């Protein structure tokens, strides 16, 4: 979750400015605290700050003129609270080195005890400080050899960048199970290291993604790459162009709102070139090998976390309905321990906006060990999940900045509908006769546009329902999964304790929670089970619970006369309605959080990319 950024080689402008710019682009990975280490008058200077990167920026203006090798970090706390002492970079007792780390050192406590016995005093509660002291304990004047010995002692997942006072022109990096990219500015020769290519400035680069347990030694003259056994290997750089796309909110107050409004275009882009309207065919351009694999598949497991898991739930239901094949959604962190669930006849569909979620990566690797084939759906190119998958498809949502996922979710859904239809087409030669699926998918962007135009109605409901501290979301079938997602949005940015339940399940327990202080958001998009859900709403009303109904325009709500309601006019199959209901309730979560004055784009305790298990 932490982000690493480093500069070395022919540093051509202020290292501080470069690191701050890089960190700001990495802030989505974690924003508890940040720090930088660089050389000043022959010594390592470390400056840290809690809070956002701009707090660090304010503290380091005195170092601005320096053009030295430097490393920087933005933190998401795992070991130890959010205090300056726990922020990175961490140094050893003599201040002879500074290092930054993303990941978790699983055997840190054991190493810490060993070092304490040797007299080392620890100044933080982090696992990272252990690496700094261990490095010094192992150091014999040879940076590379020391890093190799360090690697042999560390368990867990990590990306590490380190500078040393005896090697002021060098930066040494390594990684295991966490991403680290080396990028050489093709024109200026400057070398950058980063957890994520998104942190690079605009220009032409030569890039290399470090493989697990490789060590790279970077300096003015060369980038040397070594395998774990110390053998030197030729670094295979690939050209990579970065279009500098500064993160502008434009006319919007928040990235989340901007991204909600970008959904029509995100969906149009995700659809583009992927169907033939006249021929009524889906054209996902999956390789022949996928089609062959699919012939042998007897079950489909869809895995993801958070919002991506909710997309998996909706897709699993759709796939099963459409193909008559067993399709099940699993939370990735649980799936990885369910050994019997995957074998050579399983297709695993791994869904992740970032492509870097540690739980999803771990689950797909376990599935691959058991011979399952993996197709991934991500929104970020060059991500770890793509590298680990047999096949992959990209959503085209564009970079999602707000921690709270919106356009990535609806784009995932769109692509999953297309993928399901593509699979149907593989098995049956053509798309189903009933429901003009392609045409219906194409209408989604304009339906979302109409819905967004009515945002004021939702904003008003958000204002009127501010007082509720208990909010329940209910729905059946597709609407239940949409309820899960809508409830997550509210927890995430509104910090409200909120639950979601299948409407039919209330009477088996949760009904006891209902009183006049409870608001139930009833998602009434399901046509087949509409009347049953209405009965469930009445059961809530009989216990004085208040109702916010989100419903289809043509549905008659006279029976329940809800306290609040929002209608959606969408003459499309109910399987596609989650996209529209999700958009409406994203707006509801946004305006509710806005009224509370929360930092919506950076909700407390969270990070955009969750790279710890
Ligand atoms: C969504 O609003 C959340 N921020 C979170 O649940 C997210 O979807 C989850 O962490 C998975 O991320 P991924 O899609 O990048 O794998």
Q: Which atom of ligand 1 is nearest to the CA of 492?
A: 2
- What are the residues facing 240 on neighbouring strands? 205
How far apart CA 120 and CA 300 sit, in angstroms, is: 52
For 141-182, give the DSSP string.
Answer: S-HHHHHHHHHHH--EEEEEEEEETT-TT-EEEEEEBS--EE
Q: Is the CB of 360 under 6 A from ligand 1?
A: yes
CA of 327 to the centre of ligand 1 (A): 21
SS (H, E, C) 505-561: HHHHCHHHHCCCCEEEEEECCCCCCHHHHHHHHHHHHCCCCEEEEEEECCCCCCCCC
Q: Are residues 160 and 129 in contact, defined by beta-carbon separation less than 8 angstroms? A: no
32 Cβ below 6 A of ligand 1: no
**Which has the closest alpha carbon to 99: 202, 21, 180?**
180
- Residue 2 bears catalytic tag: yes
CA of 399 to the centre of ligand 1 (A): 14
Asked if residue 21 has its Cβ within 6 Å of ligand 1, the reply is no
Probe target for ligand 1 pocket from 29, 399, 405, with the most ligand atoms within 8 Å of CB: 405
383 lines ligand 1 (CB under 6 A): no
How high is the pLDDT of residue 506?
94
Q: Which atom of ligand 1 is nearest to the CA of 360?
A: 16
Q: Is the CB of 404 under 6 A from ligand 1?
A: yes
Atom 7 in ligand 1: residue holding the nearest Cα: 306
The architecture (CATH level 2) of 3-242 comes to 4-Layer Sandwich (3.60)
Q: Do domains 249-442 and 452-601 have the same CATH topology?
A: yes
Task: Please tell me the total number of residues recorded for the chain in this structure.
Answer: 613
Judge whether 388 and 365 are in contact, CB under 8 Å: yes
State the Cα–Cα distance between residues 564 and 72, nearest whole angstrom: 49
Task: Give the C-alpha distances (Å, rounded to integers) separating 24 from 229, 243, 294, 355.
Answer: 36, 17, 42, 20
Ligand 1 centre to CA of 353 (Å) is 7
Ligand 1 mean position, distance from CA 534 (Å): 32
Task: Decide: helix, strand or coil at residue 565.
Answer: strand
Ligand 1 pocket test target in 31, 254, 309, 357 with most atoms within 8 Å of CB: 357
Distance (Å) from CA 305 to ligand 1 centroid: 6
Q: Name the phi and psi angles at 333, rounded to 5.
A: -70, -15
Exactly one of 67, 112, 258, 608 is catalytic; name it: 608
Q: For 412, phi and psi rounded to 5 degrees?
A: -60, -45
Provide the pairing of β-strand 238-242 with 232-233. Answer: unpaired
Distance 10 CA to ligand 1 centre (A): 37
Helical pair 577-596 and 437-453, crossing angle rounded to 10 deg: 20
**Closest approach atom of ligand 1 to CA 488:** 2
Ligand 1 and 405: CB distance under 6 A: yes
**Per DSSP, which regions of 315-438 are E strands?**
326-331, 346-352, 373-378, 391-394
What gap in Å lies between CA 570 and CA 577, rounded to an integer?
8
Could you tell me if the CB of 307 is within 6 A of ligand 1? Answer: yes
CA distance 324 to 333: 27
In 3D, which of 429, 290, 275 has the Cα closest to residue 348? 290
The three-state secondary structure class of 226 is strand
Does CATH place domain 452-601 in 3.20.20.70? no
Question: How far apart, in Å, do the first and last CA atoms of the chain sit?
Answer: 10
The pLDDT assigned to 612 comes to: 77
Architecture of domain 249-442: 3-Layer(aba) Sandwich (3.40)
Q: Cis omega before residue 268 (within 30°)? A: no
List of residues 6+ apart from 554 with CB closer than 8 A:
none
Distance CA 325, CA 300 (A): 8
304 CA distance to ligand 1 centroid (A)? Answer: 8
Q: Is 354 in the pocket of ligand 1 (CB under 6 A)?
A: yes
Among the options 2, 19, 162, 305, which is catalytic? Answer: 2
How buried is residue 98: exposed, middle or buried, by Cβ count under 10 Å (0-12/13-18/19+)?
Answer: buried
Identify which of 610, 612, 613 to mutate to test ligand 1's pocket (most ligand atoms within 8 A of the CB): 610
pLDDT value of residue 228:
87
Decide whether any atom of ligand 1 lies within 6 Å of the 603 Cβ: no
Q: What is the pTM of this model?
A: 0.88
Question: What is the Å distance from ligand 1's center to 173 Cα?
Answer: 28
- Give the Å distance between the CA of 336 and the centre of ligand 1: 17
305 close to ligand 1 (CB < 6 Angstrom): yes
Cβ distance 475 to 482 under 8 Å?
yes
> 199 C-alpha vs ligand 1 centroid, how far in Å?
19
Residue with the smallest CA separation from ligand 1 atom 5 is 306
The low-confidence residues of the chain, meaning pLDDT below 50, are: none
Closest atom of ligand 1 to CA, residue 357:
16
Residue 332 Cβ contacting ligand 1 at under 6 Å: no
Is the minimum distance from the CB of 331 to ligand 1 under 6 angstroms? Answer: no
* Residue nearest atom 16 of ligand 1, based on CA coordinates: 352
Q: Is 179 in the pocket of ligand 1 (CB under 6 A)?
A: no
Give the 3-state secondary structure of residue 328: strand
> What pLDDT score was predicted for residue 336?
87
CA–CA gap between residue 483 and residue 537 (Å, rounded):
14
Domains of the chain, residue spans: 3-242, 249-442, 452-601
Q: Quick one: pLDDT at residue 246?
A: 67
Q: For residues 514 and 545, what is the distance between their CA atoms, to the nearest angstrom?
A: 6
The structure tokens 């002291």 sit at 133
Q: What is the pLDDT of residue 598?
A: 93
Q: Which residues contact 191 (CB under 8 A, 6 or more apart)?
A: 7, 8, 9, 171, 182, 183, 184, 185, 218, 223
Atom of ligand 1 nearest to the CA of 305: 11
């Amino acid at each position: 979750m932490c982000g690493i950024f480093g500069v070395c080689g022919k540093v051509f402008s202020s290292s501080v400015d470069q690191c701050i710019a890089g960190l700001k682009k990495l802030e989505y990975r974690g924003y508890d605290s940040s720090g930088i280490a660089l050389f000043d008058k022959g010594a390592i200077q470390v400056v840290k700050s809690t809070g956002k990167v701009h707090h660090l920026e304010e503290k380091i203006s005195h170092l601005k003129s320096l053009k030295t090798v430097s490393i920087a970090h933005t933190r998401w706390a795992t070991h130890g609270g959010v205090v300056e002492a726990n922020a990175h970079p961490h140094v050893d007792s003599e201040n002879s080195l500074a290092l930054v780390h993303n990941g978790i050192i699983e055997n840190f406590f054991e190493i810490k005890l060993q070092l304490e016995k040797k007299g080392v005093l620890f100044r933080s509660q982090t696992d990272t400080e252990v690496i700094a002291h261990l490095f010094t304990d192992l150091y014999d004047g040879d940076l590379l050899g020391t890093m190799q010995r360090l690697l042999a002692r560390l368990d867990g997942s990590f990306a590490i960048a380190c500078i040393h006072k005896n090697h002021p022109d060098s930066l040494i990096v390594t990684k295991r199970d966490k991403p680290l990219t080396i990028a050489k500015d093709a024109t200026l020769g400057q070398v950058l290291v980063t957890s994520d290519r998104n942190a690079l400035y605009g220009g032409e680069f030569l890039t290399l993604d470090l493989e697990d347990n490789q060590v790279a030694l970077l300096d003015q003259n060369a980038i040397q790459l070594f395998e774990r056994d110390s053998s030197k290997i030729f670094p295979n750089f690939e050209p990579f162009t970065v279009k500098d796309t500064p993160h502008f909110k434009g006319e919007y107050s928040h990235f989340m709102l901007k991204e909600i409004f970008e959904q029509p275009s995100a969906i149009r882009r995700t659809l583009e070139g992927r169907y033939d309207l006249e021929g009524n065919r889906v054209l996902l351009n999956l390789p022949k090998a996928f089609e062959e694999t699919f012939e042998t598949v007897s079950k489909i497991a869809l895995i993801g976390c958070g919002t991506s898991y909710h997309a998996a739930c909706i897709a699993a239901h759709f796939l099963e309905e459409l193909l008559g094949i067993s399709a099940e959604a699993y939370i990735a962190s649980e799936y990885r321990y369910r050994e019997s669930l995957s074998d050579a006849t399983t297709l695993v569909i791994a869904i992740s906006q970032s492509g870097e979620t540690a739980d999803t990566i771990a689950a797909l690797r376990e599935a691959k060990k058991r011979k399952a084939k993996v197709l991934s759906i991500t929104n970020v190119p060059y991500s770890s999940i793509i590298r680990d998958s047999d096949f992959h498809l990209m959503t085209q949502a564009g970079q999602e900045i707000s921690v709270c996922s919106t356009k990535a979710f609806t784009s995932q859904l769109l692509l999953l509908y297309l993928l399901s239809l593509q699979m149907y087409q593989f098995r049956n030669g053509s798309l189903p006769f009933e429901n003009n699926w392609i045409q219906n998918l194409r209408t989604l962007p304009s339906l979302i546009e109409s819905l967004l135009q009515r945002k004021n109605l939702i904003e008003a409901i958000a204002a009127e329902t501010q007082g509720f501290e208990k909010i329940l979301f209910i729905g059946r079938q597709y609407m239940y999964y949409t309820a899960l997602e809508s409830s997550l949005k509210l927890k995430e940015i509104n910090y409200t304790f909120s639950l979601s339940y299948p409407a039919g399940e209330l009477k088996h327990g949760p009904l006891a929670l209902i009183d006049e202080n409870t608001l139930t958001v009833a998602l009434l998009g399901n046509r087949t089970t509409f009347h049953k859900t209405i009965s469930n709403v009445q059961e809530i009303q009989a216990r004085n619970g208040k109702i916010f109904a989100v419903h289809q325009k043509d549905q008659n709500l006279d029976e329940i006369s809800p306290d609040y309601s929002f209608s959606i006019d969408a003459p499309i199959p109910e399987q596609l309605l989650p996209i529209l209901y999700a958009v409406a309730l994203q707006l509801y979560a946004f305006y509710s959080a806005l009224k509370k004055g929360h930092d919506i784009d950076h909700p407390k305790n969270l990070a955009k990319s969750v790279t710890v298990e």
